[in-house]
Amino acid sequence: MKIVVFVKVTPDTAATVKVDESGKVTWGDAPLVLNPWDEYAVEAALQTKEAHGGSVTVVSMGDESALEAIRRALAMGCNDAIRIEDPALAEDDSLSTAKVLAAAVNKIGDVDMVFFGRQAIDGDTGLTPPQTARLLGWPYIGLVSAFREIDPDGKKLTAERTIEEGRQVLSTQLPAVVSVAKDFGEPRYPSFMGIRKAARAKVPVWSLADLGIEAPAVKVRLPELMNPPKREVQCEFIEGDTPEEIAEKLADKILAEKVL
Amino acid sequence: MDFALSKEHQMVVDMVRRFGAEAVPVIREYDRKHEPAPLIPRMAELGILGVGIPVKYGGQGLDYISLGLVCEELEAADSTLRVVMSVHMGLCAQTIFHWGTEEQKQKYLVPLAKGEKIGCGAFTEPGHGSDFAHIQMTGRREGDYYILNGEKMWISLASLADYAIVTVRTNPEAEKPHRGLSTFIVDLHSPGIKRGDIKGKLGVRAGSTGWIAFQDVKVPVENRLGEEGEGFKITMSAFDRGRYTVAAGATGLIRASLEASVRYARERETFGVPIAQHQLIKQKIAHMARDYEMARALYLQAGWQMNQGSRATRMASMAKWFATEASFRAASEAVQIHGAYGYSDEYDVERYLRNARGAMIYEGSNEIHTLIQADYALGYRRDKPLRLELPPYDPEEWQEE
Ligand SMILES: Cc1cc2nc3c(=O)[nH]c(=O)nc-3n(C[C@H](O)[C@H](O)[C@H](O)COP(=O)(O)OP(=O)(O)OC[C@H]3O[C@@H](n4cnc5c(N)ncnc54)[C@H](O)[C@@H]3O)c2cc1C
């Protein structure tokens, strides 16, 4: 099978992200990492390769910092990598990104499955995966938590997806686009052999010209960003001589404050 | 001169740090129970047990600096994890890599580096630690075998290892006692071997430290490392790697103490301000930050020397001496910064303190390192070339599959 997994570099989850005086988002000197949701996508892609053969290509759109995410995916076991960068892509929205990614899938050619993480922890839209599927004209299954069947010859795919109400089982045909949910299973650690290869990997860079497309129009802009309002939290210790007395006071308080 | 870590080194650090985070909850539980934590199989699975050995011998093809970085990360989680690398890799696998014949490497090094077998180094005896030249355990040649008799004590991984590097007295008549020693690769599952763990230790409670008793244990001649009478030199060269890993680990312990202290000092308030704003607390933090950088610079220099193929005996001893003393200070001050909370196992710092203490004793007590360093400075000691030198790191050769 020919598998593509799209990844993105994001600030580490431990970073303090805020809007600075100039209105730009900053995360100080916190490291950039492979978007944590994408780790699940890489894991699912690698498991699919291990079960059905073939290769996994990791693709990321972004400047050189995207190499951080690409190297991580290579160290986990992806076979090769492509980075997409073009000065005309300085500004983007989810749809313009999806247009570029769909073009990349077409250029790679003969792709059977495309994997995404559920969303990026920075933009948090979760829109790029279905948009890419739509542009490719392929079926899309979001939030996959397990595969029941992947049949590359019969071009069939049956997957379970996790939704708030429970689990759904969906069947569709290949090629297809999926996004992977956390309950797919813990992503593997990079191997040392993978690390050695990833550290040395020369990652080809594709421009818009290489993809054979014009810079897609950006429709959604973010004219202003604001920090969330500071939350005022008051802490009150409820005291009493016995646990029962404390519990009673707490219950009264909860009722008085109309929490319940 | 280049102080930057390579991309490869950085990724190794990230990976092992992740494992450390995964291991800490298990460590807390086993440290409290005073039982070896069952984490070695996971270390094997992740390939950690093969860092510092070329791919063609079953290793990961990562250099000596990577080994140090791995030890720093492991001990930032818990000393027992680093101890595994010190003895399995530093004392055992790399000693075979350094001194072994091709047959010995194929038979013993490959499974060790793959993590299929676990190794340790058994040198200390109940009566002899620092005064190693006078050890008592004997190896008597009988035809194609040596018959080993005696006891080794304070051996890390004694109860868990499959193979041990063991140095014994093969020639009681030798003119100088250290010339009468020879070193062997011993399969610890051989008949005549009994072993067990020591209870009631101050630290490294989530790891195995024990004794190994040998009664008429038959070891084939082909298991002798190096030549007869070469045991002292081989053992000292094993200590170079042991000390290097201890130094790197202690550096991780300083960092863990520093990070815990910074976190707590920013949160805890007294007299209306975070304690971090009291100058006396700042001083403790400053000392830890300074000692971390110094310890790291020292061990990385030793690692670099090994990569180059130049002797690291002096630098590894210096790094071990400095880093272990600094790590004990750092852990102790971390407890102080945590106040009463630091005195309970609700926080990790009390474990750091207990663990740090041992490293001032093992791999050459710090008194011995003080003497070594003085003797180098005074010109009473210099490194003579060995019959075989430790192979330098050559990326192409080490990564060849
Ligand atoms: C947790 C732990 C793990 C260990 N793991 C291993 C292992 O895996 N393999 C192994 O072989 N050994 C191991 N050891 C043993 C360790 O290497 C010895 O404890 C160490 O070499 C010191 O020997 P000793 O305990 O016999 O002390 P001694 O040599 O009896 O020394 C007692 C004291 O006298 C001091 N002293 C000795 N000689 C001098 C001198 N000339 N000048 C000044 N002071 C001196 C020492 O510094 C020390 O303070 C381990 C020990 C511990 C605690």
Residue pair B172/B138 in contact by the 8 Å Cβ criterion: yes
Q: Is the CB of B47 less than 8 angstroms away from the CB of A190?
A: no
What is the C-alpha to C-alpha distance for residues A67 and B66, in angstroms, rounded to an integer?
21
What is the C-alpha to C-alpha distance for residues A175 and A169, in angstroms, rounded to an integer?
18
Residue pair A184/A146 in contact by the 8 Å Cβ criterion: yes
pLDDT tens digits for B187-233?
Answer: 999 999 999 999 999 999 999 999 999 999 999 999 999 999 999 99
Mutate to test the interface with B, among A196, A197, A200 (most CBs of B within 10 A): A196
Residues of B in contact with A190 (CB under 8 A): 11, 14-15
Q: List the end-to-end C-alpha distance of chain B, in Å, as a whole number.
A: 30
Q: Is the CB of A189 less than 8 angstroms away from the CB of B62?
A: no
> Which residue owns the Cα nearest ligand 1 atom 53?
B358
Residues of A in contact with B12 (CB under 8 A): 192, 195
What number does CATH give the domain B120-232? 2.40.110.10
- Pair type for strands A80-84 and A113-117: unpaired
What number does CATH give the domain A2-211? 3.40.50.620
User: Ligand 1 in contact with B235 (CB < 6 A)?
Assistant: no
Amino acid letter for position A201: A
Task: Tell me how many degrees the CA angle A138-A139-A142 measures, rounded to the nearest 5.
Answer: 125
pLDDT tens digits for B247-282?
Answer: 999 999 999 999 999 999 999 999 999 999 999 999
Q: What's this model's pTM, rounded to 2 decimal places?
A: 0.92
Residue pair B9/B66 in contact by the 8 Å Cβ criterion: yes
Q: Identify residues of A whose CB sits under 8 angstroms from chain B CBs.
A: 71-72, 75, 189-193, 195-196, 198-200
Q: Using the structure block, give the residue that is written with the tokens 């000596």.
A: B64
Task: Tell me how many degrees the CA angle B248-B51-B210 measures, rounded to the nearest 5.
Answer: 65
What topology does CATH give the domain B233-399? Answer: Butyryl-CoA Dehydrogenase, subunit A; domain 3 (1.20.140)
Q: Identify residues of B whose CB sits under 8 angstroms from chain A CBs.
A: 6-8, 11-12, 14-15, 18-19, 46-47, 50-51, 55, 60-62, 399
Domain B7-117 sits in which CATH superfamily?
A: Acyl-CoA dehydrogenase/oxidase, N-terminal domain (1.10.540.10)
B133 Cα to chain A: minimum distance (Å): 39
User: Ligand 1 in contact with B204 (CB < 6 A)?
Assistant: yes
Tell me the ipTM for this assembly. 0.88
Residue pair B97/B63 in contact by the 8 Å Cβ criterion: no
Burial B170-191 (b: 16+ CB within 10 A, else e): bbeeeeebbebbbbbbbbbeee
Half-sphere exposure of residue A63: CA atoms within 13 angstroms, side-chain side: 7
Residue pair A72/A33 in contact by the 8 Å Cβ criterion: yes
**A240's tokens:** 């009493």
**Domain regions of chain A by residue span:** 2-211
Q: Give A166's DSSP letter.
A: E
Q: Using the structure block, give the residue that is written with the tokens 């899938």.
A: A105
Query: What residue in B sits closest to A191 (Cα-Cα)?
Result: B46
- Encode chain A (260 residues) as per-residue pLDDT tens digits: 999 999 999 988 888 888 888 888 888 888 899 999 999 999 999 999 999 999 999 999 999 999 999 999 999 999 999 999 999 998 889 999 999 999 999 999 999 999 999 988 887 788 999 999 999 999 999 999 999 999 999 999 999 998 888 889 999 999 999 999 999 999 999 999 999 999 999 999 999 999 999 999 999 888 888 888 888 888 888 889 999 999 999 999 999 888 87
Average pLDDT of the residues in B69-93: 98
**B77's tokens:** 């989680």
Contact residues for B33 (Cβ-Cβ < 8 A; gap 6+): none
CATH 1.20.140.10 placement within chain B: 233-399
